[in-house]
């Protein structure tokens, strides 16, 4: 009676932590029954594993692993029926996995049953005794098993949940490690994984690559990653921004010039193609070059031959060409602004970079990366981005893509004067995401018409973001006529300009 009383009290006192409950129960048994040795096993997969014990060393505990049906414990786990072994030295089924016993010892094992299922066992060693005495102990142990079964079931669930979490964590870590990713590029989304696999696929060959994507999506980063993963990595990587060079300079920049070839050419100069010999030339904004330069580029791609400006001597180089553009080359080709033959020469291996809008899952990853980068650069110690700021980063449509995100974080680090980036550290363009109508709804003071208006606005803005500011396309997405969408845009005062992507 005392024992049951104390066990039931232990259960009440240790409602929160099941592990401490089990230990407390064993303590009661040790004190009131003079118990020297006892174990609690829990069933997991197809085995019973010792979860708590008294009188066992850590090593002995580790050996306590019984397949269902194996030994006495395994048999109790299988049948759900208690077993008494009056003398373990005479019982061949007794495995003694957890160590030898001295003297004549009895062994009692009872099932722990929860929801008609055996979830574990409780077993004790008992000094040699007559049958009635052992039976009484068995009954007592069964009562204890029954009243602690709920708690033990919780313990089992806790362990299973913890192990599932650990396994999931390990799986994710392994996945991250296995992700074959250039070190310089941040991003884990499927679209970027596809980009990584294309990078590694094309890097070993000398093939021409055309990288496409909006401004600020990381085209130059990808070009450099291809070079770095190629056999040319120890040779130069020369980037030329074709849009930044005035037309009269671009040819001499690319191909070099002889002394006196034009006014101001006071000495001979090597062009970028000569400087890059053995390495890679990255032609950024290739869509912006003139038709005349396009002809020369075509020749260099086809024959790897060119002449310096003011010279007739052909120069042969070994360069790999990677080009990039944010322009719609197909459209340019249609209106005669881009040569078809050059287009096909460049387009042998296109890589499309997603806009930041299309890879929202990477926003936090990138923000953290830039946080670290600019913390170092400005010797600051800003460790966190507040939740409201994260919400703003996530709901913004990022027309300037990763470059804009990078600038945003850099600026926020400079203006923040505590240890976090707060919503008010972000630039005004991101603040508009917090529209007044939305505020009314959050405050719970919007009326029916305002709620409808907010809902309509959200639908229309989302569609416009997705179509990069193309209103006709947004109307089609929503199944609206152009007349209706323009009417709504006017009524709701939606600023559509800001959703046009930067090309």
Binding site for ligand ADP (CB under 6 A): 185-187, 213, 215-221, 402-403, 406
Q: Which does 465 bind (CB under 5 to 8 A by kind): ligand ADP, Mg ion, none?
A: none
Q: Which CB atom, from 220 or from 368, has the smaller least distance to Mg ion?
A: 220
Q: Which CB atom, from 120 or from 213, has the smaller least distance to ligand ADP?
A: 213
3-state secondary structure of 120: strand
User: Taking the complex as a whole, how short is the minimal distance between the CB of residue 284 and Mg ion, in angstroms?
Assistant: 5
| 358 within 8 A of 191, measured Cβ to Cβ | yes
Measured from each CB, the residue nearest to ligand ADP is 218
Q: Which does 298 bind (CB under 5 to 8 A by kind): Mg ion, ligand ADP, none?
A: none
Reduce the secondary structure of 394-439 to three states and give it as a string: HHCCCCCHHHHHHHHHHHHHHHCCCCEECHHHCCHHHHCCCCHHHH
Distances (CA, A) of 132 to 72, 76, 168, 186, 375: 20, 21, 50, 72, 75
Site string for Mg ion, 212-251 (x = CB under 5 A): --------x-------------------------------
User: Taking the complex as a whole, how short is the minimal distance between the CB of residue 363 and ligand ADP, in angstroms?
Assistant: 11
Burial 21-44 (b: 16+ CB within 10 A, else e): bbbbbbebbeeebebebbbbbbbb
Residue for token pair 């009243």? 147
Distance CA 218, CA 239 (A): 14
Q: Which CB atom, from 219 or from 308, has the smaller least distance to ligand ADP?
A: 219
Q: Which CB atom, from 257 or from 320, has the smaller least distance to ligand ADP?
A: 320
User: Taking the complex as a whole, how short is the minimal distance between the CB of residue 468 and ligand ADP, in angstroms?
Assistant: 15
At residue 204's C-alpha, the angle toward residues 362 and 192, to 5°, is 10
Query: 437 Cβ partners below 8 Å, 6+ apart?
Result: 446, 450, 453, 454, 457
- Cα atoms in the Cβ-side hemisphere of radius 13 Å centred on 24: 21
User: Taking the complex as a whole, how short is the minimal distance between the CB of residue 396 and ligand ADP, in angstroms?
Assistant: 16
Q: Which does 195 bind (CB under 5 to 8 A by kind): ligand ADP, Mg ion, none?
A: none
Q: Which CB atom, from 107 or from 370, has the smaller least distance to Mg ion?
A: 370
Query: H or E stretch including 352?
Result: strand 350-352
User: Which neighbouring-strand residues pair with 305?
Assistant: 316
Q: Which CB atom, from 138 or from 397, has the smaller least distance to ligand ADP?
A: 397
And the tokens for 268? Answer: 């001979």
Q: Which does 64 bind (CB under 5 to 8 A by kind): Mg ion, ligand ADP, none?
A: none
The two beta strands, 384-385 and 237-241, are unpaired
User: Taking the complex as a whole, how short is the minimal distance between the CB of residue 187 and ligand ADP, in angstroms?
Assistant: 5
Q: Which does 304 bind (CB under 5 to 8 A by kind): ligand ADP, Mg ion, none?
A: none
User: Taking the complex as a whole, how short is the minimal distance between the CB of residue 286 and ligand ADP, in angstroms?
Assistant: 12
Q: Which does 185 bind (CB under 5 to 8 A by kind): Mg ion, ligand ADP, none?
A: ligand ADP
Q: Which CB atom, from 367 or from 471, has the smaller least distance to ligand ADP?
A: 367
Q: Which residues bind Mg ion (CB under 5 A)?
A: 220
């Amino acid at each position: 009676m005392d024992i049951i009383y104390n066990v039931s009290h232990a259960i009440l006192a240790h409602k929160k932590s099941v592990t401490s409950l089990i230990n407390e129960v064993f303590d009661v048994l040790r004190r009131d029954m003079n118990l020297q040795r006892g174990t609690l096993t829990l069933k997991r997969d197809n085995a019973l594993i010792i979860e708590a014990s008294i009188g066992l060393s850590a090593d002995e505990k580790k050996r306590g692993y019984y397949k269902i049906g194996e030994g006495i414990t395994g048999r109790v786990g299988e049948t759900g029926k208690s077993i008494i072994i009056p003398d373990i030295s005479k019982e061949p089924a007794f495995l003694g996995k957890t160590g030898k016993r001295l003297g004549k010892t009895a062994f009692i094992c009872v099932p722990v049953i929860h929801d008609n299922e055996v979830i574990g066992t409780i077993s004790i060693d008992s000094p040699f005794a007559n049958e009635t005495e052992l039976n009484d102990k068995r009954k007592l142990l069964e009562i204890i098993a029954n009243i602690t079964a709920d708690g033990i079931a919780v313990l089992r669930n806790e362990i299973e949940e913890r192990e599932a979490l650990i396994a999931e964590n390990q799986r994710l870590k392994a996945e991250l490690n296995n992700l074959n990713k250039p070190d310089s590029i941040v991003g884990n989304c499927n679209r970027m994984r596809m980009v990584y696999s294309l990078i590694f696929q094309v890097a070993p060959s000398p093939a021409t690559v055309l990288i496409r994507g909006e401004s600020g999506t990381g085209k130059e980063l990808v070009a450099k990653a291809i070079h770095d993963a190629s056999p040319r990595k120890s040779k130069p990587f020369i980037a030329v921004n074709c849009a930044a060079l005035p037309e009269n300079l671009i040819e001499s920049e690319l191909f070099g010039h002889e002394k006196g070839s034009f006014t101001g050419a006071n000495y001979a100069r090597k062009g970028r193609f000569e400087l890059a010999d053995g390495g890679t030339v990255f032609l950024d904004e290739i869509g912006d070059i003139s038709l005349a330069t396009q002809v020369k580029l075509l020749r260099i791609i086809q024959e790897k031959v060119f002449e310096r400006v003011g010279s007739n001597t052909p120069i042969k180089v070994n360069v790999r060409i990677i080009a990039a553009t944010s322009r719609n080359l197909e459209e340019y080709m249609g209106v005669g602004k881009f040569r078809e033959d050059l287009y096909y020469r460049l387009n042998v291996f296109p890589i499309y970079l997603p806009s930041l809008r299309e890879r929202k899952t990477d926003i936090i990853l990138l923000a953290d990366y830039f946080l670290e980068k600019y913390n170092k650069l400005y010797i600051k110690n800003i460790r966190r981005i507040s939740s409201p700021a994260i919400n703003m980063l996530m709901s913004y449509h990022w027309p300037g893509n990763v470059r804009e995100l990078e600038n945003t974080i850099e600026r926020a680090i400079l203006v923040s004067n505590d240890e976090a980036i707060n919503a008010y550290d972000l630039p005004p363009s991101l603040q508009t995401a917090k529209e007044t109508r939305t505020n009314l709804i959050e405050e719970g003071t919007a009326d029916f018409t305002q709620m409808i208006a907010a809902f309509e606005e959200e639908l229309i803005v989302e569609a416009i973001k997705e179509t990069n500011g193309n209103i006709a396309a947004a109307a089609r997405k929503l199944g609206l006529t152009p007349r209706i969408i323009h009417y709504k845009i006017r009524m709701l005062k939606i600023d559509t300009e800001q959703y046009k992507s930067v090309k």
